[in-house]
Each structure stands twice: as C-alpha cells, then as structure tokens.
Structure 1
Amino acid sequence: MATNRFDSPDKVASGSHADSRPLDAKASARSPHAVPPTIPDVQPGPPPPAGSDQQRRRKVSWKRRLRRWMWRIATAASILLGLGFLSFAALILYYGQGLPETAELKNYRPPQVTRILARDGTPLAELFTVRRTVVPISTVPKSMKFAALAAEDASFYSHEGLNYFGILRALLVNLWSGRTRQGGSTITQQVVKNVLLTNERTFARKIRELILARRIEQELTKDEILELYLNHIYFGHGRYGIEEAARYYFGKSVRDVQLAEAATLAGLVKGPSVYSPRVDLAKAEERQRYVLRQMGDKGFAPLADVEAAARQKITLAPLPENNAELAPEVVAEVERKLVAVAGPQADQGGYTVTTTIDPKLQSAARAAVRNNLDAYAARRGLVAPLKRGKGDPAPFKGTPTPGGGRVYNGVVTKADDGRGTLTVSVGTAEGTVKLDKAKRYNPRNLPPSQFAEVGKVVRVTFADDDPRSGRLELALGPQAALVALDVRTAEVLAVVGGYDAVRGALDRTRSAHRQPASTFKPIVYSYGIHTRVFTAASILETEPAALGGRYRPANYDESDGQSPRRLREALATSVNVAAVWTLDKLGPAKVAAWAQSLGIASKLGADLSLALGAYEVTPFEMVAAYNTFAAGGTYREPVLIRSITDPDGKPLPLPDATPPRRVMEEAEGYIMTSLLRSVVETGTAKRARSMTIPVAGKTGTSNAAKDTWFVGYSPAIACAVWTGYDDASPLGAGETGGTTSLPAFIAFMQEAHKTIPRTDFAAPQVGLVRVPIDPQTGQLAPLGVGGIEEVFLAGTEPTGPAELPSSNEPAPSLWPF
C-alpha cells in the first residue's frame, strides 16, 4: 500500500524506517557480550514484485545516503572554499603591503634622451642614461598599436588586467617542468613588471604583479597603460621605447612607420637579441609574418593590407655612426645650462636644446682646423714614415709620473705588424701605440714596421694619464681651436676645440688658457683711441731705450725697426716696443680694466708685459673682444643656446645672459676696424689679401712660437684661431700666427661666405673725419705737397701742418681708404 504524504508519522515509520525487531533482540545486538542470533537457513525466493514496500524502502534509503554524502561534500567544499578565500585574502593582504602607488604612474617620468640640435634642427649630440624618447599614445599610429596587441596581448582592451587562462596555462607548464618557463603576462602585467617591480621570477613577485595589475586597471585607462608599455619596453641595441626603436631601425619617427615596419617592431619585444633584423634578418621576417597573421586573424587590419605588408622586404636605415657627432664641443656647455634651467630633473633627460651652431659652418671649421694641422705636420716631418734624424729631441729619462697630462719623448723599440702596434720606451716605463688610432699621422695606413724606424724619438702620452696602463697615444703634432660668432648677435656659429671630434675631449676654445701674444695689442690701442690720447696717426716710440730700462722687449723681425712709427704702421707690422710704450702712457691697470669691459674675463696683470699678451686668455674671450670692434663698439656675450624645451615640449626660460653694453662709440669701433684692415693690407696678415671678402684682424706669436693666433672678422663673422702644443712646446722656427693659424682662418671664412652677399665695412655717418696727413709726422700734409688720407674721430684730427721735407722727393699719393 502506497504511503500517503498526509499519513501519520507512526505509519510512515512502521512502513519504511522503524526497526521491527523485538526489543530484546535490539538490546542483544547492542551488547558486546551477546550471542549473535542464529540466522535461519532460508532459501532465496523470487524478487519482490515491482512497487512492493521493500523496493520502495530501498529507494528511499539510497536517496537519503546520496543526499547525506552530497551534503557532506558541499559542506567540505564550502569550508575549503572559505579557507581558500581567507588564505587568498591573507595572501593579498600580506603581499599587498608596501607596494608602489599605481596612481603615480600618471606622472611617471622615465629617463629619456636629451637631444642637442643645430639652429636648423640638425642633430649635434645626444645625452642619456637610457636611450628613450617618450611619445604620447595619440601620436602612435593605429597600425603600431594593433601590431603590439597582436604580438603580445590581443584581448588587452577586453580583459581587466589579467589573463586567467594564460596564468593557469603558465602555472601548469611551470609545474610540469619544475621551473619557471612561462609567464602568461598581459600588457598590464608587463607594465607592472618593467615599471614598478623587478624582473626576478619568484612566487612573491608574481603575486605582487597580479595585485598591481588589477590596481593599475582601476587607476589608468587602457590607452594610458598602452602608452606606458610602448614607451618603456626594450627593443634591442640599447633602444628603449617605440620612438627610439623606430628611429634606430627605420630612421623615422614612430608616427611615420608603415604596417610592415610596425609588425617588425612589435615582433622584437619577445626577444630583441633574437628577432632583431640587424642580428638575424630571416628570424625577424618570420616573426614579422606571425604578427601580421595575428593582425589579420584578429581583425586588427584589413587582409589586403596584411598581405601587401607581408610581401614587403624589411628595409633598415643605415647604422648611426657613433663618432659622427658634428659638434661634441657644445655638450659640456649645454649640460651646464640645462642644469641651471631644469635643476636636478635635467638628469632624467627628455629635453630638446636648440643651439646657434650652423652645421655647414661647423663642418667647414672642422675641416679648416684639420687641414691646417695636417699641413703643419707635413712640413715639419710628422707624417709617416718617420725617420731617425739628428734633429730628434732627447728622449725622456727617468720614471714617468701619473697625472698632469704630460707628454714624453719616447723611443720606438719594436714594431708588430700583426698586432698593428709600436712599442715605445719612455724612461723606465714601456707601452704600446695602436696605429689604428693614429690615422692623423698615418694617412697612408702604413704598417708599424714602415711607420717609424726603431730608435726614432716620438712624442707620446699615457692613456688615462696613467703610466701603469701600458697604453700610449701619439702626440706628434700640435692642437688648435677655432670659434666663430655672428657679428650682429654674437651667436656661436662654429666651435672646434681640437683635431678630433670626440665628446669629453679638451675643448680648447673655452678651457685652454694661452698667451694671446700680439693679438692683445689692438686692445691696448683701442683704449688709446677711446680715451682720445692717441689717434691712428700718433707717432709712437719704437726703441727700447724709450722705456727707461724698466722693460726691454725686442721688436719681432716682422718690424723693420725704423723709428718713429705711426700707430697704424706699428700695429700693422706688430712693433713690440711701440705697444709697450703706448701701454705705459695709458696705464697698465686702466688697460686691464678696459680689456675686461671688452669681454676678457681671465686674470690680467697690470704691468708692461700686458701689452705683448703675456697673460693667458681663451679663444672665446678674444673673439668676443674683437667682435666688439666689428659690431661698432657694442659688447655682446657669446650665445650658444637658442631654446630649451622640456619633455612635454614646453619652452623653458633661459638664464639671463649679460645684456649688451656699449663699450665704444660706433666711430671708435670703425677706427679699430680701419687699423686692423692695415694688418691685412700691408702688415703681418698679408696672406689674407687673397680672400675675396674684406677682413680685418691681427696675428699673434708668443715667445719661441709656443702659441700662434689669428683673430679677425668680416662684416658678418668674427673668428679666432689658436694653434699650439698642449704642453707649450715650441712650434719651431718660422712658425708664426701668419703661417700657422691664419691659413685656417682664411679657409674657414672663404667657405663661410660662399652664401653671404659681399659687403664692405660700413662707416658711421657721424663722428669721423678724414684728412690728408704727412706720413712721417702724422700732422696735416703741407698745402700743395699732398700726403696720405687718415681717418680720425671728430675733434682728434691734427690741426697744424707738418714741416716741408728738405729733399726734393715726390710726396706719396693719397691712401686709398
């Protein structure tokens, strides 16, 4: 009989669940000492009919047991799940402590490249600790963004920072292999790993990575995360970020890359050392095609575009030349100004500094300096093959000492053609010279055995200034410096600090303090003109006796020694006694102060040797002083930097430069130009008459020809050239400013003026008068006798006529001025 759900509990129990055995049988079953009941020998009968009470009881019992086990399993699972959640929460709490603030990524400033540019945008140099250039995601083309997604994380815009399937797959692979082989990282996780954490492969770091990935997704937009990723990842060959990668591999900004190029760049990330097209082009192409297929499969690019890109060959840009910096001399000055403008942030880079350098003039200046030094080496026998000779200097004896940048006379003892080296003995020390670094003196690439004979004495320096290094460098020839300014603005157009264009080398335009010799004389005479004590026609003493024995300089052989001399002639032929006598009349202390007003910042002594340039200055100081003459008496501090922009492209205010100041009247500046023109027309710089442009300037040669100079200018450009040995060794007999430095000036100025319209020096409209004078006395030429024309400041012209000459010689013609 079926059980009704409305039956009483007693009926339900008696029908299905109650034990129908007698109570004493129950008790005996529960007692451990009870005798088990005898089971009667019952023959099995036929199964109960379907629907019987016994069958129904079995079904109910099975269901109850199933429900009981399901309950137990559910309870255990719930407990385990709860424990798992608690453990996970504890894990997150534990590893989540002390993590970086992801909100700071909005203002994250990674190290970048600072670029130094010429005035027309030509790259001059780069400064960086990490070669990276950050670009906003808005400038990255879609093809580049989708290529990166196809290569690394196709579902980036749909997931929340974690690829759970990828994580599980990586976990299984790592467990199976027994070590970390896969990461299963999304782009968000890679940003965390590269920007906020380290690259160590540990469980703790991975947990932190997962925590931070979720936080980043809550703090930043997807585009902001992708921007961080593309700007930070490594692309090989020292390039970080997509912009530097595009420049290095394809010679263009990332904004200009095409689909095929984008796929190549995106494929690099997996293994830059493996998939770089500069390392293995075949593997790079294989990886590129994979990225393109992914883009097509994911719908990131039209299939027609993908197929067209896959057919294109990878065409790389030429490798940048590491030593091809056009003007490494500007780097130190730019770094100094950048720190002054940007402060400590300057070290992070990302700035763009536009200089005043003209790249064409910079190249011309470098060529002029090198060609001039090569010409000196050729005429002095400093170019291989080097032969032993009686004129060789005495070799150094003793023990070389570190420091001081000293140059030694060493003796060649061995030549090794296999290694390309010379062995040179320097007193008690010995070292080797690598000829591949001596191309300046070995233009024909002669092997060491032919480069120099054993026993030849050669000038050498120790590398790193340390005799223990055993590495020597040749120092056979002198060095030189050239700096050129725009006359109107004093902007630096070109600067060459030595023969080699090497960053970090000594920049002799700023750092080499050398005696200016006779190039200082115009400063002395300009003060005489300024104070109206002297004129261009003043008669100066040229005999040492005129100095009263206080100082007895000798007149250089460029003077014919005739006495007396007009100021114009004395300057043109560089008469030493005349300059010293003039200084004595003006007062050395006053002239020293005058020199400072013209831009000479170096310390000057107030004695008579000042007139002959005995106190050391720099080429930059000299060209600034002469530029004052060229600019009509206005001093302007030389300017190298035009603008600085920060990593966001915003211009920064430049440090306040010294404002222009009028030192001389315009007419006074013109008088000095007129006097310096005579140096070229009739004096020590007559070689410059070959030029097709008007120039004015002055030669300078110090004692024993240790320093040779030419400082001069045209109406457009002022230029100073210095030549000499760094250790102040003599340049040799016959070497003067006119032979050793002037040729570099001529070569540079001729090249620089090819695109500048020819103009003459313009005389001011007021303040000048021209009168004929007697060349012997400097007074007015007698009426009817004639004379030469001279230019004077108004009010300083002679008023009395000269006495008539006693001879019947014809008077000279007028000066063609």
Structure 2
Amino acid sequence: MIKKLLIACMFLFFLLSLAAAGFLVWGYYYITRDLPQLSSIEDYRPDAVSSVYSRDGTLIAEFFEERRYPVKLKDVPDFVEEAFIAAEDASFYEHPGIDLISIIRAMIENFRAGRVKQGGSTITQQVVKNLLLTPEKKYKRKIKEAILSYRLEQRFSKDDILEMYLNQIFFGNTAYGVKAAAKLYFHKDLNELTLGEAAMLAGLPKAPTRYSPILNFEIAKRRQHYVLSQMVKARFITEEAAKEAEKQEIKVYKASYNNIYDAPYFVAELRKELKEKWPEFDIDRDGLKIYTTVDLTANHLVEAALKRGLRAIDKRRGWRGPAGFIADADLDRFIEQYRNKIPETIYPEQIYPALVTGRRSGRLFVTTGYHSGIVDVAAAEWAHRKVDSAGRVVWIKPDRVIRVGDIVEVSLPKKNVPRELKGEGVSREFSGQLRFQLDQTPELEGAVVMLDPHSGEVLAMVGGYDYRRSKFNRATQGMRQPGSAFKPIVYLAAIDRFGYTPSTIVYDMPRTFRVGDTVWEPGNFDDTFLGPITLRSALEKSRNLVSADIISKIGVDAAIQYARKLGIKSPLGENLSLSLGSSEVTLLELTRAYGVFAAGGVLFDTVLTREIIDRDGNIIYDAEKDKLKRAKQVVDENSAFIMANMMKGVVQHGTGYRARVLKRPIAAKTGTSNNMMDAWFIGYTPDLAAGVWVGFDQKKRIGEKETGGRAAAPIWVDFMGKYFNYRDKVEYEKLLKEAKAESERLGIDFTPPEKLEPLDFKVPDGVDPYWVNRHTGTLTDKDDPDGIFEYFRKGTEPPAATATSSATDYLESPDL
C-alpha cells in the first residue's frame, strides 16, 4: 500500500514537474516572443547636439531635441565613473546583468507597499529600460528587462554598457548624459569636476527633479552625502576624501532654454537652409558641427548700427508719450508688471521702462525697479514733438505732461555710467543716483545684409530691431518695393544689350506713357525736371522720368530678364512702373544682385554654410570645393564695371552722398517707395556688398523726407565705416607681423609697411577711359573744368562734338 502510494506520489510529482516545466517554457516563450533585438543598439549612437559656429569658430547656436554631448568612457575621469557605480550599482562589475539580492529586496518592499514602488535595477537593466523598453513599473516588463539584461551582458563588455548608461540617462536641467550634466549644472567639462560635484551628479538619475541642486539644494546635499558614503563603502575613496568633498563649495547654474547664443536672425535662416539643402540630415539628432559664414564682428556692428539708426528715425517722428500709468507710483506693482523688462543689471544704451516717482524743475525722478535716477526732460528736445497712433503731431512740453506714476522709457548714456564702473553694466548693488535720458523703443523696423560678392557668403544678417520682439526676418522674408534702388537693373540692361553708355544723352522731361487704354504720368521726387542730361547724371540724381523712358524703349521684358540674370526670383510686374521699383523684392536678393557689379558680372549662390562635419569627423560638405559650381557669369564684365563706375558717382555727386565720409571707392544707390513707406540704401565696394531697408511692418509713411538717403544711408555708413576700420587694422597688423618676421629672418632693420590703400574696382581689358564733359557727354580733355574720366566699352566712346541727331532720335519713341 505504502509502495503504491509512493509510486503515485512520484508520478504526480513527475506530472507537476512536467507541467511546471511546460509552463516555464510557455512563459519564457510568451515573455520573449516580442522582445526587442539587441542588434538595435550594437552601433549605439545616441541623439546628439549639433553645434553651429561662426567663421572664427565661436559657438553661436545648438540644435537638439535632447541636449546630449556623447563622450567615450576613456574620457570620463575614474572618480566620476566610480561615483555613478557606487550610487546606482555597487556590484556592477560582478553580476551578470541582474542582481538577485537587489531584486528580492525590491520585491519585498513592493509587497509591503501593495504597489510597484522600488525597482532594484542594475545599471545594465537601466540601459535596457532606456534603450529597449518602456519605463512602466510592471512585473512583466521587469521580467523582460532581466532577460534582456542578461543577454546584453553576453554581447557587450561592462565598459560598453557603462558608456551607454553615462551617455543616455536624464539628469534634469535639460541635460542628457553626464557630459551635458557637467556643462549645464556646473559650466565645466568632465575633467574639471570636483569629487563633490561628481557625487552630486551621480545622485541625480534616480530622481532628477527631487534631487536637483537648483530646486532642492538641501535634499541634493543629502543625496550627495549618500553617494559619497557609498563610494567609501565600495572603497573607491577614503572617509577623509568624502568629508573634504562634502565641504567643497558647490555653485550650480540653471540651464537656459535658449539655443541661439548669437546672430539669431542668421541662425534662424541657416536652420531653414540646412533643412532645405540637406533633408537627409536630422540636425536635431545627428551631432553635426556646422561652420558658417557669419562674421560676428560685422554682425555686432550691424545690430548696433541698426538699433541706433531706427531710434534716431523714431525720435524724428516724435514722442509717443508715457507707456502706462501706475496709481500712487506703487513700486511693487511696477516690478510685478514689468518683471521681464527690468533686469537687476542694466547696461549703457539699452532701453528700460521706468516709473516716475517725482518731478521738479524740468527733471523727473525715476526708478527702473532696482536703480533710481534723474531724467533731464528739458534736454530731450525730440520729445517736444508728440505723435499719436494715427500719426498726428502736436507740440508739447513733456515735463508738463508727464505725471508721477507714469511709465516712461529711459536709457543710460555711456558717458553717464559712473566712472568707477568703467563703462560696464550697473548691478542692483549700486546705490547711487544715475543720470538717465528719456528714450523710447522704436515701432519702426529695419533689416541689413552684408555679403562677400566674390563667394556669395553672407557675413552679417539682421532681420529686425530685436529678435526677441519679432522673429520675422525682414532681410529674407520681407517683400517690399525697392523704389529707385531697382533702377540700376534697368540701366544695366540698357548698357549691356542696347548700346547705351554713361555719356548717352537722355531727357529728364515730363512725359505721358500710354499703356493700352490707360495713361501713366510719372514724376520726379522733387517735382523738377533737368532736361537733357547724361545717363550717368540721371542715375546719380535718381531721375524717375529717365528710368521710365529707358524701360519704355528697351522693353519691360528686357528689364525682367536682367533682374533674373542678377538672381532676383520674386514676381515682377510686367509694367513700366517696374523701372521705378514698384514690384516687391527682398533685401537679400537685391543686395546679391548689386554684388554682381562688384564681382565682374559673376553671380554666386547665397552661402550661409561653409563646412559640415559629422560626429565621426568626416567632412560631408565644403563650400570652398563647391565654389566654382556656384559661380555663373551672368553679365559681361565690362558692363558690370561700367555700372560700378557710374554708381560710384551716386556717392560722389548724387543721392548717396552721405557715404562720401568713408573716403574710399563705394558704389551705391538709394531707394524710396511711394509715400516714403520704404527706405533703402544698397552699396558695395570691390569686395563687400551690403544693403539696408527701413520701414514699418504694416505699411505706412516713415516720416517727412525720410528717404533712402536720409533714413537708410546713415545706418549703412555707421556699420560699414566701423567694419572697414576693424578690417583694415587686422590686415595691417598681419602685414606688420609678416614684415617684422621677414626683417628678423634677413637680419635687416625693420621698416614699417606703408598704410593700406582701399581697393578700387578693377578695370577690365574690354573698356577704355576718356575725358568727357559731365553735362554734354562729349569728348573733352583734362583741362575742362567739367571734364570727368569716364569708361566705355571699346568702340563706344562718344563723339567730339554734340550730335543733335542723337537727341532727336532718342525722343522719337513708339506710342506704348
């Protein structure tokens, strides 16, 4: 009986064992049937930040979805590795991927809590969770995690797994990976970290928000203590070292969510270009190094000049009055209301809102929230002209209009910065009275582009007064009427194809043009007429009637064809008013078109990117190697030179006279659209082209007499003058250094090199110079007081005497 019972029990045990084995096999199959393949991480390449650099190598922007800077384990200091191992998985180098003791401990804790509270995960399991599985806390997922962790350990080395972990984990403060964490929390590279900082970082992955030293410094310090004690326990460091590390001062920084650090309009345009030209790259994930064309010195000069220029024009329009009012001049309410506009440190020439707290004898007592000062309103003569939103002007005395409690805008002139601060910013610790001036932020907008006409490289691009105020790039997206700035294209067509020369006599006289059933009667800006003049004089004086007459003779299609040759792609109206700039274009394309004159008739594609390097160090794009493909001879070099030589006259004798102050060869043209809604100035030298546009986003009159010559040209002169001086100084210092090295090498006395002379436009072989009379266009000699040195294509020089027949022929035009 006992024997039978024993046999039955053994048989039952066998059946149960078989069933259990079957269940385990089924369970293993069920669990592993949809496990991710480890091959997906064999070539582990985490998302990485793409870095953008200016032409001198300065970091100006970063593109990313996850802010990560991958690092090799060999470049991570040993004590940093050890801090993470001690904090997260002390037996990392001993277990096969899972730590059974930790798992059992976690299961007991979870059972007591009645929910999944603790994971007990090893570093390997955390890698699996982050790279292969979801972070959900369920037993099924934990089993998958354990299986995959074991398999991962069979395929990868411990160092490989640790490297994946240190690069993948999230630290809070926008940081992914240990290198980003060091950079963002401490503004340090990994090899600059202290033991205390490393321990604080190692404590973050478990709960980045809870243990954040930015949000909860005391809790972060307790977590740091735990990590250091674990390092002592693991014999990575001594107790003395741990105590010293805890005493170390920790300074942490909150990461900025801003990813553009300089030249924002340029960077935004660059990002669009990268996506359009290289769609195969994911610039937010691929960890590229992108070297650009932007010259930060030029861009900074442009930004400052545009701000100064727009403020000056805005002041000529008039004062708009107080920006607001706070009853009882309540300082707390003011700070709360203007919190984002009143920094604790203020800088010269920047505009800030200020609360009027008192007034006496033409002076205002104001506070910017953290700084108090005085404003001499009587000195702000521009503010006596008050303009309302409809543009109506009344004359006032601002010191009688401004009340206590009003909000006005002020700035701190550089000359008024306290001497002890040496012209730097004024922090809130400064307790003295500052001497502010009344100011106002212009509503007016503007844009500037500077490029190298011999490569198409954009050196500077500023698309508005302030990128924080408006991200709309008026240099590339703003479609506006160029007015007379379009005329050089019409003149080019006449010279290049239709036999005109700088001395061709044209007639600045009232004319009526019939186009079908309609009549067009253009006029000149000054409502005067000069009669018979040379083509050069017509361009210098920007005579509308001449441009209209030329296009009526050569045909609108010819003008459009030449605009296309020069790279203008915007829609152009097929009408005679095109000659006066009635069709809208962008600043960039018109500046690029002028660059063709400087480049001897060669058009280059616009270039923002000089070089792209992938994360492995391979050069995947080089603009220099692509340069010849981007160059196209679109206009005869002789015609291009003749246009440049004529347009120099616009500066020397015409509407662009303000640029004469720079005392170097400059060719340019002003432009003003109907009712003075747009003001343009586009100028170029033999090696630079730059354009300025000024106007309102919602089209309206800029102001009385605010032409291209008055509103836009001073901005151009401001930044170009400073940039010329900077560049000349750099070039001369380079020449000086070379001369000194040469004298030392030859053992001779050093002689400083001569001052560099500005380049003039190169004269091509296909033109000949002649002395001609400025007024008649006929040949003369150098003794003629009205004689000028003019260039003509070979065989097109004018006659020695006035040819009346040519003038008669010119006036005979078809009835259009």
> Could you state the TM-score of these two structures normalised by the residue count of structure 1?
0.76
Q: Assess if the C-alpha contact under 8 Å between 1:421 and 1:435 holds in 2.
A: no
- Who is 1:515 aligned against? 481
Give the drift of 1:382: 4.7
Post-superposition Cα deviations, 1:772-809, rounded to whole Å, max 9, x if no partner, equal 222221001279756412221342553532369xxxxx
- Secondary structure of 1:477's partner? coil
Consecutive unaligned residues of structure 2, counting only runs of 5 or more, are: 358-365, 369-382, 392-439, 729-756, 804-816
Q: Assess if the C-alpha contact under 8 Å between 2:293 and 2:608 holds in 1.
A: yes
- Who is 1:528 aligned against? 494
Instruction: Pick the aligned partner of 1:375 from 312, 315, 324.
Output: 312
1:670 aligns with 2:662: no
Q: Distance in 2 between matches of 1:543 and 1:684?
A: 19
Post-superposition Cα deviations, 1:61-103, rounded to whole Å, max 9, x if no partner, equal xxxx9xx999999999999887766554443332222121122
Instruction: Pick the aligned partner of 1:737 from 692, 701, 708.
Output: 708
Amino acid paired to 2:300: S
- Who is 1:477 aligned against? 443
- Measured at CA, do residues 248 and 73 of structure 1 come closer, stay the same or move farther in structure 2, by a change above 3 Å? farther
- Who is 1:50 aligned against? none
Q: Distance in 2 between matches of 1:134 and 1:524?
A: 55
- Who is 1:209 aligned against? 145
Q: Distance in 1 between matches of 2:781 and 2:139?
A: 106
1:120 aligns with 2:56: yes
Q: Distance in 2 between matches of 1:508 and 1:734?
A: 23
Q: Distance in 2 between matches of 1:569 and 1:215?
A: 84
- Who is 1:562 aligned against? 530
- Who is 1:599 aligned against? 567
Map residues 604-643 of structure 1 onto 2, 5 A cutoff. 604-643=572-611
- Measured at CA, do residues 77 and 560 of structure 1 come closer, stay the same or move farther in structure 2, by a change above 3 Å? same
Q: Distance in 2 between matches of 1:739 and 1:300?
A: 72
Map residues 361-400 of structure 1 onto 2, 5 A cutoff. 361-385=298-322
Which has the higher mean CA deviation after the structures are superposed, 287-296 or 603-612? 287-296
Q: Assess if the C-alpha contact under 8 Å between 2:508 and 2:529 holds in 1.
A: yes
- Who is 1:695 aligned against? 666
Amino acid paired to 1:351: L
Q: Distance in 1 between matches of 2:469 and 2:284?
A: 18
Q: Distance in 1 between matches of 2:469 and 2:609?
A: 18
Q: Assess if the C-alpha contact under 8 Å between 2:203 and 2:223 holds in 1.
A: yes
Give the drift of 1:447: 5.0
Which has the higher mean CA deviation after the structures are superposed, 205-214 or 377-386? 377-386
Q: Distance in 2 between matches of 1:335 and 1:546?
A: 46
1:588 aligns with 2:539: no
Give the drift of 1:248: 0.7
Q: Assess if the C-alpha contact under 8 Å between 1:331 and 1:503 holds in 2.
A: no
Q: Assess if the C-alpha contact under 8 Å between 2:565 and 2:634 holds in 1.
A: yes
- Secondary structure of 1:214's partner? helix
Which has the higher mean CA deviation after the structures are superposed, 304-313 or 487-496? 304-313
- Secondary structure of 2:484's partner? helix
Post-superposition Cα deviations, 1:698-729, rounded to whole Å, max 9, x if no partner, equal 11000001111011123332111111112211
- Who is 2:30 aligned against? 94
- Measured at CA, do residues 576 and 220 of structure 1 come closer, stay the same or move farther in structure 2, by a change above 3 Å? same
Give the drift of 1:683: 1.3
Q: Distance in 2 between matches of 1:687 and 1:167?
A: 80
- Measured at CA, do residues 160 and 79 of structure 1 come closer, stay the same or move farther in structure 2, by a change above 3 Å? farther
Map residues 570-581 of structure 1 onto 2, 5 A cutoff. 570-581=538-549
Q: Distance in 1 between matches of 2:255 and 2:663?
A: 40
- Measured at CA, do residues 140 and 339 of structure 1 come closer, stay the same or move farther in structure 2, by a change above 3 Å? farther
Q: Distance in 1 between matches of 2:173 and 2:96?
A: 33
Amino acid paired to 1:554: G
Q: Assess if the C-alpha contact under 8 Å between 1:695 and 1:714 holds in 2.
A: yes
Q: Assess if the C-alpha contact under 8 Å between 2:52 and 2:292 holds in 1.
A: yes
Post-superposition Cα deviations, 1:395-449, rounded to whole Å, max 9, x if no partner, equal xxxxxxxxxxxxxxxxx99999879999xxxxxxxxxx98957999993414599
Post-superposition Cα deviations, 1:518-548, rounded to whole Å, max 9, x if no partner, equal 1111111122232361222222111123857
- Measured at CA, do residues 491 and 154 of structure 1 come closer, stay the same or move farther in structure 2, by a change above 3 Å? same
Q: Distance in 1 between matches of 2:647 and 2:76?
A: 58
Give the drift of 1:612: 0.7
Amino acid paired to 1:238: T
- Measured at CA, do residues 160 and 382 of structure 1 come closer, stay the same or move farther in structure 2, by a change above 3 Å? farther
- Measured at CA, do residues 484 and 221 of structure 1 come closer, stay the same or move farther in structure 2, by a change above 3 Å? same
Instruction: Pick the aligned partner of 2:201 from 240, 265, 276.
Output: 265
Q: Distance in 2 between matches of 1:371 and 1:73?
A: 99
- Who is 2:692 aligned against? 721
Consecutive unaligned residues of structure 1, counting only runs of 5 or more, are: 1-64, 387-411, 423-432, 461-473, 805-817
- Who is 1:7 aligned against? none
Q: Distance in 2 between matches of 1:505 and 1:459?
A: 26
Give the drift of 1:187: 0.4
1:357 aligns with 2:294: yes
Percent identity among equivalent residues?
35
Post-superposition Cα deviations, 1:592-612, rounded to whole Å, max 9, x if no partner, equal 101111111112233321111
1:165 aligns with 2:101: yes
Give the drift of 1:763: 2.7
Q: Assess if the C-alpha contact under 8 Å between 1:781 and 1:802 holds in 2.
A: no
Which has the higher mean CA deviation after the structures are superposed, 723-732 or 316-325? 316-325
Q: Assess if the C-alpha contact under 8 Å between 1:772 and 1:790 holds in 2.
A: yes
Post-superposition Cα deviations, 1:192-220, rounded to whole Å, max 9, x if no partner, equal 22222222222222222212211221232
- Secondary structure of 1:175's partner? helix
Instruction: Pick the aligned partner of 2:77 from 134, 138, 141.
Output: 141
- Measured at CA, do residues 121 and 285 of structure 1 come closer, stay the same or move farther in structure 2, by a change above 3 Å? farther
- Measured at CA, do residues 778 and 90 of structure 1 come closer, stay the same or move farther in structure 2, by a change above 3 Å? same
Q: Distance in 2 between matches of 1:322 and 1:631?
A: 38
- Secondary structure of 1:353's partner? strand
- Who is 1:680 aligned against? 651
Amino acid paired to 1:721: V
Map residues 104-253 of structure 1 onto 2, 5 A cutoff. 104-253=40-189
- Who is 1:23 aligned against? none
Q: Assess if the C-alpha contact under 8 Å between 2:508 and 2:531 holds in 1.
A: yes
Give the drift of 1:245: 1.3
Q: Assess if the C-alpha contact under 8 Å between 2:125 and 2:146 holds in 1.
A: yes
- Secondary structure of 1:617's partner? coil
Amino acid paired to 1:717: L
> Could you state the TM-score of these two structures normalised by the residue count of structure 2?
0.76
Q: Distance in 2 between matches of 1:194 and 1:579?
A: 68
Q: Distance in 1 between matches of 2:779 and 2:281?
A: 66
Instruction: Pick the aligned partner of 2:507 from 535, 541, 565.
Output: 541
Which has the higher mean CA deviation after the structures are superposed, 499-508 or 586-595? 499-508
Q: Assess if the C-alpha contact under 8 Å between 1:248 and 1:317 holds in 2.
A: yes
Q: Assess if the C-alpha contact under 8 Å between 2:67 and 2:175 holds in 1.
A: yes
- Who is 1:28 aligned against? none
Q: Assess if the C-alpha contact under 8 Å between 1:459 and 1:476 holds in 2.
A: no
- Secondary structure of 1:770's partner? strand
Q: Assess if the C-alpha contact under 8 Å between 2:782 and 2:788 holds in 1.
A: no
- Who is 1:505 aligned against? 471
- Who is 1:790 aligned against? 789
- Secondary structure of 1:719's partner? strand
Post-superposition Cα deviations, 1:647-678, rounded to whole Å, max 9, x if no partner, equal 44433247978620122344433322222222
Q: Distance in 1 between matches of 2:154 and 2:782?
A: 99
- Secondary structure of 2:303's partner? helix
1:651 aligns with 2:619: yes
- Secondary structure of 2:774's partner? coil
Q: Assess if the C-alpha contact under 8 Å between 2:317 and 2:387 holds in 1.
A: no
Q: Assess if the C-alpha contact under 8 Å between 2:310 and 2:446 holds in 1.
A: yes
Q: Distance in 2 between matches of 1:673 and 1:725?
A: 30
Amino acid paired to 2:268: V
Q: CA RMSD in A?
A: 4.0
